[in-house]
């Protein structure tokens, strides 16, 4: 009887030992799995953190979508070329439809959720709202717009695009050289419109007739008829493709003999096809021609304008290289951007006081 009890006790101890051994093995397996998962998460997050993230805030479905779509293609071509050079870059797009509030919301998402290293934004509404938001962030900000005020917000802010004051000055000079003594300005109520008016005043002084409109306004009949009543011979308007279409439509429908001056990127093929006769005798200021090789790359996309693609391509490459080389060092990023080499994709010469110096051409029609 005692022998049987000993056997039973030994059996229980053996089973208990085996159970504890199995639990120990299971625990080791669980710990190994946890470690493996942790390592995978670590290496995955490390890999993600190595990628340079640049947010692009533009208009993809609103009034300036013709330009924004061109910019999107240019940014993607820049990424394609940068990856060939060994750069790991990710683009995140925000469509803001020229709505400043949407631009700000997009910027907040890009910074607070997506943790971007830089932002490239287009047009006045985004340039101003985003520039203010990122002013105290250690983020490189390049904006493509006529306005200059965002430059006051941060040393990490850079401006590109045409000089509207100088461009409108040169167009006004062309009209004056032809003997036109009375000129009007159809002024969009944005900083770009104010800059253009300053340029015209450099040529005509205060002898200018001005009518204003708000972004998104489509009927310019009242403004242009008032200008015509003042016996003007030419009008200068800088805005978007839709603004030029709407202005020329009034000139045609009302039979107004007024020459038209504008910024070149509003003269799309649609404008030429619809109102080519109304453009005759007018002028525009704009970028120099896009590099032929790059232009050939864009041919397959059938874009309304090549300029958006070319300028975005140029600056996304500059931003990526500065961010990559400097590893978050603010002063280094500023130095790298300031030393950006000339690029003939769209005639970039250099940054001067954080403003891109670009070749400009005056075209006649």
Q: Report d(CA 78, CA 50) in Å as an integer.
A: 18
The pLDDT of residue 50 is 81
Q: What is the per-residue DSSP string for 9-59?
A: HHHHHHHHHHHHHHHHHHHHHHHHHHHHHHHHHHHHHHHHHHSEEEEEEE-
Question: Which residues are bridge partners to 212 per DSSP?
Answer: 187
Please give the structure tokens belonging to residue 121.
Answer: 């934004």
pLDDT by 10s per residue, the chain, length 365: 554 555 555 555 555 455 555 555 555 554 545 544 555 544 444 444 589 999 999 999 999 999 999 999 999 999 999 999 999 999 999 999 999 999 999 999 999 999 999 999 999 999 999 999 999 999 999 999 999 999 999 999 999 999 999 999 999 999 999 999 999 999 999 999 999 999 999 999 999 999 999 998 999 999 999 999 999 999 999 999 999 999 999 999 999 999 999 999 899 999 999 999 999 999 999 999 999 999 999 999 999 999 999 999 999 999 999 999 999 899 999 999 999 999 999 999 999 999 999 999 999 99
Superfamily of domain 164-287: Response regulator (3.40.50.2300)
The pLDDT of residue 9 is 56
For residue 146, give every residue at least 6 positions away whose Cβ sits within 8 Å of its Cβ, in sequence order, or none. 124, 161, 162, 163, 164, 190, 191, 192, 195, 196, 238
Task: Tell me which H or E stretch contains 127.
Answer: helix 124-133
Q: Which of these, 361, 357, 351, 199, lies nearest to 287 by C-alpha position?
A: 361
Chain centroid to CA 170: 26
The pLDDT of residue 8 is 57
Contact yes or no for 22/28 (Cβ under 8 A)? no
Please give the structure tokens belonging to residue 270.
Answer: 């649609």
Residue tagged 């110096």 (tokens): 357
Q: Which of these, 337, 189, 150, 347, lies nearest to 264 by C-alpha position?
A: 347
The residues spanned by each domain of the chain are 51-162+289-360, 164-287
Nearest 10 degrees: Cα torsion 122, 123, 125, 126:
10
The pLDDT of residue 11 is 54
Query: C-alpha distances in angstroms, 47 versus 89, 242, 327?
Result: 11, 44, 15
Superfamily of domain 51-162+289-360: Response regulator (3.40.50.2300)
The pLDDT of residue 46 is 41
Q: Which of these, 355, 361, 359, lies nearest to 160 by C-alpha position?
A: 355
Nearest 5°: CA angle at 192, between 323 and 91?
A: 30
């Amino acid at each position: 009887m005692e022998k049987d009890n000993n056997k039973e006790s030994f059996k229980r101890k053996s089973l208990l030992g085996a159970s504890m051994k199995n639990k120990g093995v299971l625990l080791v397996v669980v710990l190994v799995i946890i470690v493996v998962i942790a390592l995978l998460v670590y290496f995955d997050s490390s890999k993600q953190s190595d990628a340079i993230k640049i947010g692009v805030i533009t208009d993809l479905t609103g009034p300036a979508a013709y330009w924004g779509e061109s910019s999107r293609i240019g940014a993607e071509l820049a990424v394609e070329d940068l990856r060939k050079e060994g750069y790991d870059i990710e683009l995140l797009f925000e469509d803001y439809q020229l709505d400043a509030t949407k631009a700000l919301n997009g910027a907040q998402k890009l910074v607070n959720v997506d943790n971007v290293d830089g932002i490239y934004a287009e047009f006045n509404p985004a340039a101003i709202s985003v520039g203010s938001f990122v002013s105290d962030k250690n983020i490189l900000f390049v904006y493509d717009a006529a306005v200059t005020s965002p430059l006051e917000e941060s040393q990490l802010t850079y401006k590109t695009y045409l000089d509207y004051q100088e461009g409108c000055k040169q167009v006004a000079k062309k009209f004056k050289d032809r003997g036109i003594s009375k000129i009007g300005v159809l002024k969009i109520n944005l900083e770009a419109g104010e800059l253009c008016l300053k340029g015209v005043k450099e040529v005509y002084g205060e002898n200018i007739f001005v009518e204003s409109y708000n972004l998104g306004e489509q009927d310019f009949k009242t403004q242009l008829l008032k200008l015509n009543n003042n016996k003007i011979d030419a009008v200068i308007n800088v805005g978007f493709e839709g603004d030029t279409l709407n202005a020329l439509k009034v000139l045609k429908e009302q039979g107004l003999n007024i020459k038209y001056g504008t910024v070149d990127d509003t003269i799309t093929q649609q404008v030429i096809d619809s109102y080519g006769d109304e453009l005759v005798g007018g002028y525009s200021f704009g970028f120099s021609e896009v590099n032929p090789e790059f232009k050939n790359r864009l041919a397959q996309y059938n874009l309304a304008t090549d300029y958006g693609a070319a300028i975005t391509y140029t600056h996304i490459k500059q931003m990526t290289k500065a961010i990559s080389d400097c590893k978050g060092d603010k002063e280094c990023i500023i130095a790298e951007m300031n030393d950006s080499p000339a690029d003939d994709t769209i005639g970039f010469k250099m940054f001067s006081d954080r403003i891109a110096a670009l070749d400009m051409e005056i075209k006649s029609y």
